[in-house]
Amino acid sequence: IQMTQSPSTLSASVGDTVTITCRASQSISSWLAWYQQKPGEAPKLLIYKASRLESGVPSRFSGSGSGTDFTLTISGLQPDDFATYYCQQYNDYWTFGQGTKLEIK
């Protein structure tokens, strides 16, 4: 299963609301996770089962979608949110998207 994220790079300002899209090459139901990765660090789980917020993750992060189309929304960007975001399907083996780098405008 191939995972395609868009955009590859996203420029935004603190306080903005941004949306990252992830598309699967075939239906994965809701078996999708979102990770945040900062330079030099391991990925951190944000969302699992498409829309469930991992414990301790701020509520400004939200996920939606099912089947083949999914979104990660960050409402009210904070300085700590500028990072790279990956989607990952776990319906059939495990596959990551190519990543979306969220930059400060």
Cα angle 12-102-48, degrees, rounded to a multiple of 5: 120
Nearest Cα to Cα of residue 5 among 46, 45, 34, 39: 34
Q: Which of 10, 31, 61, 74 binds other proteins (CB under 8 A)?
A: 31
Specify whether the CB–CB gap between 3 and 87 falls below 8 A: yes
Q: How far apart are CA 33 and CA 48, in angstroms?
A: 4
Lay out the site mask for other proteins across 45-84 (x = CB under 8 A, - = otherwise): x--xx----x------------------------------
Residue with structure tokens 């191939």? 2
Binding part of the chain for other proteins, among 11-19, 35-43, 57-65, 73-81 by CB under 8 A, reads 35-43
CB of 77 to other proteins, least distance (A): 23
Interface positions with other proteins (CB under 8 A): 31, 33, 35, 37, 41-45, 48-49, 54, 86, 88, 90-91, 93-99
